[in-house]
């Protein structure tokens, strides 16, 4: 098996994060033209939850308090701009996400912050542990954002 330098892994993970962020922006922009459903709100965090299987592999193990701090930062800090930029509108009994220019700016901002944090954190932990920390941060962010979306969706469907 070839010996892969950690700098190549770091570069690869950074490029991968950029590609995924761009893909997310593209998908979110296309989704704003279609009605929102409960299924479309719930599936992303459910699908993402399969990522917890990474913790079966010992190299991803991190102290519990690191995991909690990472999740809490995602829950309270990183989810906030997404929640503030997410609005729904009701058109003929269908609910749509309003397209927000700030959403794109927020996603790029979160990507820049995440990439900068990644560079700092990877100096102190392994790449696998860094991946675990950022997965937990992203899961906390997306879970809170999607719970907010669910609540807003339910309020609009009651009216």
Structure tokens at 108: 């790029």
Structure tokens at 72: 């809490």
Structure tokens at 39: 């299924």
CA 141 – CA 138 distance, rounded (Å) = 5
Is residue 153 within 8 A of residue 95, CB to CB? The reply is yes
The predicted-structure confidence for 8-64, as pLDDT tens digits, reads as follows 777 787 788 788 878 877 887 777 789 999 999 999 999 999 999 999 999 999 999
The predicted-structure confidence for 112-152, as pLDDT tens digits, reads as follows 887 888 778 888 998 899 889 999 999 999 999 999 999 99
């Amino acid at each position: 098996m070839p010996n892969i330098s950690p700098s190549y892994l770091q570069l690869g993970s950074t490029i991968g994060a950029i590609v995924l962020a761009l893909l997310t922006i593209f998908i979110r922009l296309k989704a704003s033209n279609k009605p929102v459903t409960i299924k479309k709100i719930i599936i992303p965090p459910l699908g993402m939850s399969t990522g917890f299987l990474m913790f079966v592999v010992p190299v991803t193990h991190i102290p519990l308090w690191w995991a909690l701090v990472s999740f809490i930062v995602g829950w309270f800090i990183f989810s906030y701009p997404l929640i503030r930029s997410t609005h729904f509108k009701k058109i003929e009994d269908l609910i749509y996400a309003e397209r927000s220019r700030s959403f794109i700016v927020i996603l790029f901002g979160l990507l820049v912050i995440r990439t900068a944090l990644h560079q700092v954190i990877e100096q102190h932990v392994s790449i696998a542990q860094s991946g675990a920390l950022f997965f937990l941060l992203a899961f906390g962010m997306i879970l809170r954002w999607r719970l907010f979306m669910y609540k807003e969706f339910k309020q609009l469907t009651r009216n």
